[in-house]
Structure 1
């Protein structure tokens, strides 16, 4: 029952609804005692030949009134208790989703999407069941059981009541044992479901790759293995769950046997009337539900407890990037000073950046070049505060970026990542992501700057074209340019292009960069690239090698040094010449 302690914060929050629901449940439990008492009275009246039409009508009137009252009251407690449980699911889902949005990339690097989805769906459903059906079962079974036992003992015979309750301790011990096993096995079943959920999401997202490499059979086999594991672990849960009803039925049967055996002897000895005996067995029948409910209750609460612990474990992860108290809410603008002595990604001993320092004047373009893994993207991530914990400082507009709120900082930054993510929506909705109410003219203007407007007009639905999940219906170059248009539409103080022109041809690249230079006058742009043609126009270029800054200057200055930049430029010029068939321009 520990899960009810976990949920006490919610019960306090919704105490009015739960108190009304529980109070109504208690009234219903008391009203359930009326029919057996009436049945016993009618039987005794028949046995003593004292039943009249008037008295029978009175009996039937009371029976009808109690039935109608229970009908209305059961509706009320369902609204109060089940309605509150829905609020719990909504509240926890919102809390979990908000937690996801606050987590840093490090959090997602260690967790699978399918597992997070399982927490937000399957686990929350089990918690909702606990706050709804679990509370109902607990209160109703205890109230009904207690009221029935007291009625049997007070109105009929306390000795016969004690005899009927002899098997009950066995039920308590067995239910506690089954509940412990159920908790362990249900936790394992939820983990297996998370694995299956993750496999499904990953396979559907990567279906093109699977088909391209002809791995359909292998992928299906892997899915079947995970599915079989889910079935196996849920069957293990079902085996424990299935023990509750037979055990309880055996105990109930033992209670009936003892009640009838000793009750019959008491009737023969004139210690009980026939009507009382019938009422007693009817009341005993009412005890079947509380007994069965014990098994059901353990099932629900142990599932809820396992799920709640899984969700709380997820929520317990602290936010890596924290804002200062009184952080600046004004979006920054001005020069950027980047001075990092040393930075390593969390949990990684390898140094990602070391002794990297440069200054970007407002309105300038910075080009960042280097081999794969040299640290180009890392610079952008630190500027956006996706990671903290470095030795050094990063300033923007005369203040450390730590002094700004995350919202203010990122409002000044438009980012086009290497992995271009598009939502399963229309092209217009993807471009106007940061401001859905913006005019169509501005959307088209951004698309023209990104050199994708003509491509969009070529689609049957134009800007209303649905791109599919992650932009599956578009080419790599189209996805890149739509992502660039999305960032341009923000008109940010700083535009970050993280190798964002790799999928377009040289002519389109030149057109995009030329238009950006014209339209972003007075605003800063940072471009990382493997192609020198994308950054040679920049006012400043830095060359990274293994996380260190090895060269810095303009294109002309770096060419004069004849270092790594010069060698790479000559190599790329030769490659371009070969691609053109050896013909010079």
Structure 2
């Protein structure tokens, strides 16, 4: 029953639906007491010979009317109850999505995508089942059981009632231990399902690579192993689940045997009439549902408890990045960065050290350096995906820690090297951050990104579906569509994180020229390995081993004849050889 206490916040929130459903359920439980009493009355009148056709017809009509009322009431309370339960699924999934969106990338390194998907589907469904079927089973069995036991004890024979209940303690003990096993095994099976979901998602995402390397058989064997493991763990759950019903059926059989045997003796000695025994057995029939419901209830509660425990584990993950409270003004400001030192986790060696620069509005900053020099880390700090403990990042007079997180990130539009496109039309992908954009605004952004001519050559133009993750487009087309999407946002700071790597040099030069001469006058940060992308930057930072090894504009760095100049000359030579 602990799961009900853990979900009390939602029961209080939806107390009208739950309270109304349980109230109607109580009325139904009282109305269901009438038919056994009426049938017992008919039996006694048949035995005494006092029953006539008129009395029988009125009795039948009354029972039909009663059952019609019960039927309608059952519909009403089920609609109320299961509507509230279904709404809980929406509430939890929305809460999960918000929780996911507040976490930095490190959270998604600890939890795989398949695991999070399994928790958002199977585990949520189990909790919803508890809030629906679980509440129904608990309330119905409890109300029906109490009312029927009261009538059986007070109206007929308390001795016969005790005799009928003798097998119950044995059933309760067995069900308790089975419930403990079910809780443990269901948690293990849900973890296995998470692993299966993750394996499926990983295989589908990497299907091209799997085919390219001829790994189909190997992947199939690995997938079969995961499926078999999940099946075995689910089978372990079903083995425990299968033990519930036989225990209940044996208990019911023993209870009926004892009540009929004891009741027959009482009828023979005149302590009960035949009609009373008939009514008593009918009332005992009403007790079958509460007894069956006990096993079903334990099953639901243990599954829901295990699922909620897995969800609570996610909710207990406190976001590492906490938003500030100062909203940023609409007035544009300079970005001032002063990083004294930054280390990843518990690593003793800093990833960045003594990195500082000022980026006035409307200028272009270039960032270069070898692999592992700290470029991506610098971007993560600027977007506040990581917390800077030694140093400051200012936007005007407001530090990054003081700024409202949504306001801060809304200042940036980021295009990564491997942009993500949705399975929608090209127009929808470009207008992702600005759904209300007109077609002309979309085309203007596409022109600046040098992708408009490619798009209009497609048979359906801007309405062309790009497929999952943009599978129908080339790498350069996906990058330029992502750039157009960022430009349409008209964010104050545009970040191109090696976002021109898949386009040719001419197109790259044209895009950067468009950005410089655009009326939007955005601040641009370009992170690039191909140094021709940095030729138009007002300032270039060259990072090596986390420190600024060189800085200046393109011409100044070429004259310095250091890493930047050597790498630029090497790339020019490589380009010339490829051209030849």
TM-score when normalising by structure 1 = 0.96
In the alignment, what sits opposite 1:438?
A: 437
Q: Residues 191-270 of structure 1 correspond to what in structure 2 (within 5 A)? A: 191-270=191-270
1:525 maps to 524
Which string of whole-angstrom CA distances, capped at 9 and with x for unpartnered residues, describes residues 291-335 of structure 1? 11000000111111111111111111112221223x124256222
Q: Distance in 2 between matches of 1:207 and 1:299?
A: 39
**Residue 387 of structure 1 aligns with which residue?**
386
**More displaced, 475-484 or 142-151?**
142-151
Q: Pairwise mapping of residues 396-435 of structure 1 onto structure 2 (< 5 A)? A: 396-435=395-434
Distance 2:362 2:68 in 1: 78
Q: CA deviation at 1:522?
A: 4.2
Partner of 1:386: helix, strand, or coil?
coil
Whether the 8 Å contact between 2:417 and 2:500 is mirrored in structure 1 is no
- Tell whether the 8 Å contact from 2:515 to 2:521 is kept in structure 1 after alignment: no
1:450–1:485 contact (8 Å) kept in structure 2: yes
Alignment of 1:418-567 (within 5 A): 418-519=417-518, 522-567=521-566
Tell me, in whole angstroms, the C-alpha distance in 2 between the residues paired with 1:273 and 1:296: 35
> Which residue of 2 is the match for residue 304 of structure 1?
304
Alignment of 1:562-573 (within 5 A): 562-573=561-572
Query: How far is 1:349 from its partner?
Result: 4.5
| Structure 1 counterpart of 2:172 | 172
The TM-score normalised by the length of structure 2 is 0.97
- Runs (5+) with no aligned partner, structure 1: none
2:333 paired residue number? 334
Aligned Cα root-mean-square deviation (Å)? 1.5
State the distance in 2 between where 1:347 and 1:18 align. 49
Which stretch has the larger CA shift, 239-248 or 550-559?
550-559
Gaps of at least 5 residues in structure 2 are none
Q: CA deviation at 1:521?
A: 7.0
For the structure 1 residues 254 and 350, does the alpha-carbon distance in structure 2 shift closer, same or farther, using more than 3 Å as the test? farther
Contact residue 337 and residue 358 of structure 1 kept, 8 A: yes
What are the Cα deviations for residues 139-172 of structure 1, in whole angstroms up to 9, with x where unaligned?
A: 1111111112111112211111111111111111
Q: Does the CA-based 8 Å contact 2:515-2:522 persist in structure 1?
A: no
Residue 67 of structure 2 is matched in structure 1 by: 67
Whole-angstrom CA distance in 2 between matches of 1:247 and 1:88: 33
Tell me which residue corresponds to 1:360: 359
Q: How does 1:281-300 map to 2 (within 5 A)?
A: 281-300=281-300
2 CA distance for matches of 1:59 and 1:563?
104
1:160-215 Cα distance to aligned partner (Å, 9 max, x none): 11111111111111111111111111111111111111111121122111111111
Report if the CA contact (8 A) 2:393-2:400 is conserved.
yes
CA distance in 1, matches of 2:61, 2:182: 46
Q: Matched residues in 2 for 1:335 and 1:137: separation?
A: 62
| Alignment correspondent of 1:371 | 370
Q: Aligned to 1:330, what secondary structure does the other structure show?
A: coil
Aligned partner of residue 500 in structure 2, secondary structure: coil
CA contact (8 A) 1:331 1:412 kept: no
Alignment-derived partner of residue 139 in structure 2: 139
Match of 2:242, SS state, is helix
> Partners in 2 of 1:127 and 1:106 — Cα distance?
27
- In the aligned structure 1, how far is the partner of 2:575 from the partner of 2:68? 88
1:336 and 1:329, CA in 2 relative to 1: closer, same or farther beyond 3 A? Answer: closer
Residues 52-107 of structure 1: per-residue CA shift (max 9 Å, x gap): 12321232133122211211110111022111111211111111111112221111
- Structure 1 residue 50 corresponds to structure 2 residue 54: no
Return the alpha-carbon distance in structure 1 between the equivalents of residues 361 and 40 of structure 2: 93
| Whole-Å separation in 2 of the counterparts to 1:315 and 1:364 | 42
User: Which residue number in structure 1 is paired with residue 188 of structure 2?
Assistant: 188
Q: Which range is displaced more, 423-432 or 337-346?
A: 337-346
For residues 444 and 306 of structure 1, the distance between their equivalents in structure 2, rounded to whole angstroms, comes to 51
1:574 Cα offset (Å): 2.0
Structure 2 partner of 1:35: 35
| Distance in 2 of aligned mates of 1:467 and 1:455 | 13
1:210-257 Cα offsets, whole Å, 9 max, x none, are 111111122222222111122111111111111111001111111111
Contact 1:339 1:357 in 2 (8 A): yes
Provide the residue aligned with 2:273 in structure 1. Answer: 273
Write the distance in 2 (CA, Å) between the matches of 1:210 and 1:332: 51
Q: What's the CA shift string for 1:487-536, capped at 9, x where partnerless?
A: 11122221111011111111111111122221167432111111111102
The alignment covers a number of residue pairs equal to 580
CA contact (8 A) 1:450 1:484 kept: yes
